[in-house]
C-alpha cells in the first residue's frame, strides 16, 4: 500500500482533507474516501464504475490492453495448459495444485456430484415450462436445507466443504433442470467421467440407449466453463459479496449471484446473440442489419460485439474462436444457415473500418453462443451454463471476504425526494 495522499478542498470546510491513496500490485491507484462521512459527505458513483468496493487477490482485468489474469496467470495460458477443475482450485486456494493436490480435489468433486434424493422432489413444485434460471435460483438456495451440517461460515473447514459441494453439484442440478423441462427422467452422474463429460452425459443421455461423450465436445464444454470461471467485481460477483456480508450461508449467496446473472444485461448476452442471428434470418439480410447497427437512430444493436470492460479484443474470445472452429468442424456444421450468418458477421467485424475503429470485436458471448447452439443446448440453458462456470469465482470471492475482517455492505444515496412534511389534517 502507498503512503501518498490526495488533497480535497471543499468550499465549506476551512481545512483541506487529506485522503489516503492506496496502490495495488498492478492497476489504477485508489483513493480511500472513508473519511468523508465524518465530514458530512458521501461520494456519488452510480453503477460503481469508479469505485473499488473491496481489496482482492483473485482476478485482475485491464480492459484497455485486453488482459485477464487469475491469481496472476493469463487466461490464455490457463485455457491452453489447464482445465476447469484445476482453475477452480487456483481461484479458491490461491495457487495451482501439485499432482497430489489436484488428484485429491478432483476426487472430492467427483464423489460429491450426486444430490440428496429428496431434492429431486423439489423440482415437482415448478411448472415444466419454467425458465431454467428460475429453477436454479430455487434449488441452489434449497441446498442449505439439505446440507446444513457445514454452514458455520466462521469455520474454515465448513467453508471448504460447502465450496466443494457447490462446485460438484452445480452440473447435476443444471442437467436436472434441463431434463425436467423436456419431461425426461433425471440422469445420475458417473464417477468414471470427468467434469465436462459428466455434464454432457447427464444432459443428453437417456435410459433407452447408450450415450458416448465426444471428446472434442467435452473439451469445448470444459473450456467454456474455464473461460467463465471469474471476471472480477461484476454485478453477480458483487451481489454474492453483498449477500455474504450479511453472514448468509454460501448456498443463499450463490443463489443470489444466479439471480443477478439472470439479468439480460449480464448473463443473458450469449442468449441474445442467438436471438439476433434468428432475427437476421439469412446471410442475404446481413448488410441491411449491419447498416442498421451503424445507424445511431436505429434501436437495433449487434449482440456479441464489443465489451463494457474490454476496450480491446476480449482475451477469452481468441480462445473461444478456436474452440468454435473445432466444434463446427467436428460436427460438420460449417454449412448451417445460422452459423453461416455468424461467420459472416465475424468477418465483417474483423474487416469493416467502422467496427475496427470502435473496437467492436466479437466477444466471448458471440463464440460461446455459437458453440452451445452447435452442441444442441437450448438457448434457455445458456445462462445456466454461465452460472455453472462462474460458481468457483463466486465462491472464491465469498471465501476471500469471509476469511478476513469485513463490514456488512451498506451503500449510500443522494436523496432527492420530498423534505420532511406534515400529514394533511
pLDDT in tens, 62-71: 988 889 999 9
27: left (phi over 0), alpha (psi -120 to 50) or beta: left
CATH number of the domain enclosing 77: 1.10.580.10
- Let me know whether 183 and 43 are in one domain: no
- Let me know whether 35 and 68 are in one domain: no
- List the domain range (segments joined by +) for residue 17: 5-52
- Let me know whether 127 and 153 are in one domain: yes
Cα gap 196→223, rounded to integer Å: 9
With contact defined as beta carbons under 8 Å apart, do 216 and 327 qualify? yes
Q: Specify the number of domains making up the chain.
A: 2
More confident residue, 269 or 370: 370
| Catalytic residue list contains 399 | no
Catalytic residue (choose from 112, 307, 397, 399):
307
What Cα–Cα distance (Å) separates residue 5 from each residue in 1, 42, 98, 242, 250? 11, 18, 42, 28, 37
- Let me know whether 172 and 30 are in one domain: no
CATH number of the domain enclosing 29: 2.20.28.60
Cell output for 165? 459441494
pLDDT digits (tens, 9 = 90+) for 91-141: 999 999 999 999 999 999 999 999 999 999 999 999 999 999 999 999 999
| Residue 419: inside a domain | no
**Interval 223-247 mean pLDDT:** 96
| Residue 172: inside a domain | yes
- Let me know whether 43 and 186 are in one domain: no
- Let me know whether 218 and 350 are in one domain: yes
- Let me know whether 131 and 182 are in one domain: yes
In this prediction the pTM is: 0.93
Cα gap 1→202, rounded to integer Å: 48
| Residue 410: inside a domain | no
**Interval 41-45 mean pLDDT:** 92
- Let me know whether 32 and 83 are in one domain: no
| Catalytic residue list contains 307 | yes
- Let me know whether 223 and 116 are in one domain: yes
Catalytic residue (choose from 228, 365, 397, 399):
365
Amino acid at each position: 500500500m502507498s503512503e501518498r495522499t490526495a488533497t480535497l478542498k471543499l468550499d465549506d470546510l476551512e481545512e483541506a482533507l487529506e485522503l489516503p491513496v492506496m496502490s495495488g500490485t498492478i492497476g489504477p491507484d485508489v483513493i480511500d474516501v472513508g473519511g468523508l462521512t465524518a465530514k458530512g459527505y458521501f461520494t456519488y458513483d452510480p453503477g460503481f464504475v469508479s469505485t473499488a468496493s473491496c481489496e482482492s487477490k483473485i482476478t485482475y482485468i485491464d480492459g484497455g490492453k485486453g488482459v485477464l489474469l487469475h491469481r496472476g496467470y493469463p487466461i490464455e495460458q490457463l485455457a491452453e495448459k489447464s482445465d476447469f477443475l484445476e482453475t477452480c482450485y487456483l481461484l479458491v486456494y490461491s495457487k495451482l495444485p501439485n499432482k497430489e493436490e489436484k488428484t485429491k480435489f478432483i476426487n472430492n468433486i467427483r464423489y460429491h456430484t450426486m444430490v440428496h434424493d429428496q431434492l429431486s422432489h423439489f423440482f415437482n413444485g415448478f411448472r415444466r415450462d419454467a425458465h431454467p434460471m428460475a429453477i436454479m435460483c430455487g434449488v441452489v438456495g434449497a441446498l442449505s436445507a439439505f446440507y446444513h451440517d457445514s454452514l458455520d461460515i466462521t469455520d474454515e473447514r465448513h467453508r471448504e466443504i460447502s465450496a466443494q459441494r457447490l462446485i460438484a453439484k452445480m452440473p447435476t442440478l443444471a442437467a436436472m433442470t434441463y431434463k425436467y423441462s423436456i419431461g425426461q427422467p433425471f440422469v445420475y452422474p458417473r464417477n468414471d467421467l470427468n467434469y465436462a463429460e459428466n455434464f454432457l452425459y447427464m444432459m443428453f443421455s437417456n435410459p433407452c440407449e447408450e450415450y458416448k461423450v465426444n471428446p472434442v465436445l467435452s473439451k469445448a464444454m470444459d473450456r467454456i466453463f474455464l473461460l467463465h470461471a471469474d471476471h472480477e467485481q461484476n454485478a453477480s460477483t458483487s451481489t454474492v459479496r453483498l449477500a455474504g456480508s450479511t453472514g448468509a450461508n454460501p448456498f443463499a449467496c450463490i443463489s443470489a449471484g444466479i439471480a443477478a446473472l439472470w439479468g439480460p444485461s449480464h448473463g443473458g448476452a450469449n442468449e441474445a446473440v442467438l436471438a439476433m442471428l434468428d432475427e437476421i434470418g439469412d446471410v442475404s439480410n446481413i448488410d441491411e442489419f449491419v447498416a442498421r447497427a451503424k445507424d445511431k437512430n436505429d434501436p437495433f444493436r449487434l449482440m456479441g460485439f464489443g465489451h463494457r470492460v474490454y476496450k480491446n479484443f476480449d482475451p477469452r474470445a481468441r480462445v473461444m474462436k478456436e474452440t468454435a472452429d473445432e466444434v463446427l468442424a467436428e460436427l460438420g456444421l460449417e454449412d448451417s444457415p445460422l452459423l453461416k450468418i455468424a461467420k459472416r458477421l465475424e468477418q465483417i467485424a474483423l474487416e469493416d473500418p467502422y467496427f475496427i475503429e470502435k473496437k467492436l470485436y466479437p466477444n466471448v458471448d458471440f463464440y460461446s453462443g455459437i458453440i452451445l447452439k452447435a452442441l444442441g443446448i437450448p438457448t434457455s440453458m445458456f445462462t445456466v451454463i454461465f452460472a455453472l462456470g462462474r460458481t468457483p469465482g463466486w465462491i472464491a470471492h465469498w471465501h476471500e471476504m469471509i476469511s478476513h475482517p469485513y463490514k456488512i455492505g451498506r451503500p449510500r444515496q443522494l436523496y432527492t425526494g420530498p423534505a420532511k412534511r406534515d400529514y394533511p389534517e
